[in-house]
Amino acid sequence: SVLYTVILSIIIFGDRLLSHQYIAVALVMAGIIFLSITKNSGKAMISEGVLPAFAVSLLWGLTFFLWKIPVNIIGPAMTSFIIESGIVLWAAIALKGRISNIGRRSWYFMAFYGTAIAAGSVSYSLSLSLSPLSVVAPIAFSSILVYTVLARIFYKERLRFHQYISSLLILAGIIVLVA
């Protein structure tokens, strides 16, 4: 997603990166790609779900690229409000008639999740109003680093050596990008 978003922001919005920022974007992208490689029977291969994930990557890249347009027109707060309201509306339509089957614990989880998503939406929108998309996107898309750490801690997933290296590449990319 970061590649599509950065390319589109350079072409369409005229964003300009400094040479060290191009290197930083490349480090983040390399880390993200390297995280998706697994070893099976001693042979490196792409994880099973990676190919469909490329379609998701393209769509998210387009989504986060287009996000800047309403931020520039109506501001970060209103953009986030409209986007999140639309998501809630679609969820309500999808859950119509099934809401009574949802337990209390699930409601708490969904409330926490919704709050976290809304906070992320507002943060992303605010970032877009303050910095170029080509700088904000690589940092936002490096959230895979957070997922990796959380999966290790909460799901006890075992990380391989290349995943630690990938995480360091993403972290280095973020540091270089903001330097």
CA-only gyration radius of the chain, Å: 18
| Percentage of the residues of the chain whose pLDDT score is greater than 90 | 33
Average pLDDT on 24-42 reads 78
Whether pLDDT at 5 is above 70: yes
Instruction: Give the confidence band of 47 by pLDDT, cuts at 50, 70, 90.
Output: low
Q: Are 9 and 132 in contact (CB under 8 A)?
A: yes
Residue 45 pLDDT class (50, 70, 90 cuts): low
Residue 96: what pLDDT?
78
- Give percent of the chain with pLDDT exceeding 70: 94
Q: Per-residue pLDDT tens for 77-122?
A: 999 999 999 988 888 888 777 777 778 888 898 889 889 999 999 9
Say how far apart CA 90 and CA 84 lie, in whole Å. Answer: 10
Pairing relation of β-strands 37-40 and 43-46?
A: antiparallel
Mean pLDDT over the full length of the chain: 86
User: Is 70 exceeded by the pLDDT of residue 42?
Assistant: no
pLDDT at 58 over 90: no
Mean pLDDT of 26-35: 84
**68 CB-side CA count, 13 A:** 24
Q: For residue 13, give every residue at least 6 positions away whose Cβ sits within 8 Å of its Cβ, in sequence order, or none.
A: 68, 132, 133, 134
Give 46's strand partners: 37
pLDDT for the residue 44: 62
Query: What is the reported pLDDT for 179?
Result: 76
